[in-house]
Amino acid sequence: MNLINILKDNTVLIPAGLFVLSFVVQMLYYFVFYMRTARYRSGEKTGNKLSPVSVIICARDEAENLQQNLPAILSQDYPDYEVIVVNDCSQDDTEEVLIRLKAKYKNLRTTIIKEDQKFRHGKKLAATIGIKAAKNEWLLFTDADCYPVSDKWIKSMAAEFTDEKSIVLGYGGYEHKKGILNNLIRFDTFFIALQYTGFAIAGKPYMGVGRNLAYRRSLFFDNKGFARHSNLQSGDDDLFVNEVATKGNTAIVLNQESFTRSIPKTSFSAWLAQKRRHLTTGKYYRGNHKFLLGAENISRILFYLFFILLIVDQTYLYLALAGFVIRLATQLSVFKITMKRLNEKDLFLSSLIYDILLPIINAFLLILNRFSRKKQHKWR
C-alpha cells in the first residue's frame, strides 16, 4: 500500500501531523525565548558610573497628563539629568502647565513646535527635535501619559548604561483598571514584552517600546535617525530599534523599580485602532524577525485549531491531550514567573483565554490593514 492510499484511509493523519508540528514549534518558542525572560535577572550595578541622562517626552494636547505625571519624572532620585518636553502643536493648556512646572523644577526644559497647515508631521519630528535639544549622550524616552512606578526609574535604567551597550529596553505596562478590555490590553502588553525581552536576551533584539526606552544620542545620529522610515506615522521606537539593535549593543532591565505605567484605552474601538497603527510597522522589520514573529502567531493558531479537530475526531485523542497539557504546563510556568516579575500577577487566569484570542485578533487586524486604503494620520 503506497503513501497515497494510507492517507486516503486515514485522513486524520495529516491534522495529527500538523498538530505535532505546531506543538514542537510552540515549545521551541517557550524554551528558546520566553523561558529566558522568566529566568532573567537584572539589577543595579553599583560599580557603574551614573551617566548624565536626558529624558525626552513628546506631547500634543497632554496638559492633564503632564500636570499629573511630570512631577514624578522631575523628582527622580538621580544626580544628573534633564527632562525635555517637546510641545508639539498643542491646542490645550499644555504650554501653561509647562510654564508652571518650569518655575518649580530647574531640570525641566521645553521646546515648542508651532502648527503649520502646509506641513503635516508625526511624532518622529517632535522626537528628533527633542533629541537635538538634549545635552547628554544617554537619552531616556517615555510618553506624556506615562509615569514611573518609583523614584529609582532613571537609576534602574541607567544601571545598564555601559561602554558596551547603546540601547536599553525597559518595561512599560498599563494601569490596572476594572473590566475585560483593561485585562486584554494589559495581557497583550505583557505578552509583547515577553517576546521582545526574550528575543533580546537570546541575542535577537527586534523592538522596544517608547514608553520606556533608552539609547545613545550618537547612535541616533550615526544611523541618520528616522530617515529610513520618516514617511510612516508609527515606528519612532520599534522600527529604530529594529534597525540598529544587535546582540552586543542591547541590554534589558526587568526590575520593578524600572517600570513605567500608562493610561490604557477605555473603548474597544480605540484600542483596535491603536493596535492597527502599531501593526503597520511589522512589515518593515528585518526578514528574520518577521519570520520568527509570524511563525509564532501562525503555529499558535494551528495548535488550537488542530487540537479541536483531534478532540472531535478522537482518533488521536490522547496525542492531542498530551500535547495540550505539556504546552499548558510550560506556558503557565513561564507566565506565572514572568507575571510576578512584571507585577502583572492578576492576569494569570485570564491568560488561558487571551492566549487563544490575541493571535486571532492580530491576524484579523493584519488582514484589515493589508486591504484597507485608509491612511492613518494620528500623531501617535
**Least confident segment among 117-126, 203-212, 257-266, 269-278:** 117-126
Contacts of 254 (CB under 8 A, 6+ apart): 37, 40, 42, 171, 197, 341, 342
Catalogue the E-assigned strands of 129-237: 138-143, 146-148, 167-169, 172-174, 213-216
Which pairing describes strands 172-174 and 108-113: parallel, antiparallel, or unpaired?
unpaired
What the block records as the C-alpha cell of 332 is: 503557565
pLDDT band at residue 229 using 50, 70 and 90 as cut-offs? confident
What are the structural domain ranges in the chain? 3-39+288-371, 53-265
- pTM greater than the 0.85 cutoff: yes
SS3 140: strand
The residue-averaged pLDDT of 284-308 equals 96
Q: Please give the share of the chain, as a percent, with pLDDT higher than 70.
A: 92
pLDDT band at residue 121 using 50, 70 and 90 as cut-offs? confident
What mean pLDDT value characterizes the chain? Answer: 91
The predicted structure's pLDDT at residue 46: 52
How is domain 53-265 classified at the CATH fold level?
Answer: Spore Coat Polysaccharide Biosynthesis Protein SpsA; Chain A (3.90.550)
The predicted structure's pLDDT at residue 42: 67
The predicted structure's pLDDT at residue 348: 94
The residue-averaged pLDDT of 142-170 equals 96
Residue environment code for 67-86, b if the CB has 16+ CB neighbours within 10 A, otherwise e: bebbebbbebebeebbbbbb
Q: Please indicate whether residue 137 or residue 123 has the higher confidence score (pLDDT).
A: 137
- The per-residue pLDDT for range 54-63, each reduced to its tens digit, is 999 999 999 9
pLDDT band at residue 227 using 50, 70 and 90 as cut-offs? confident
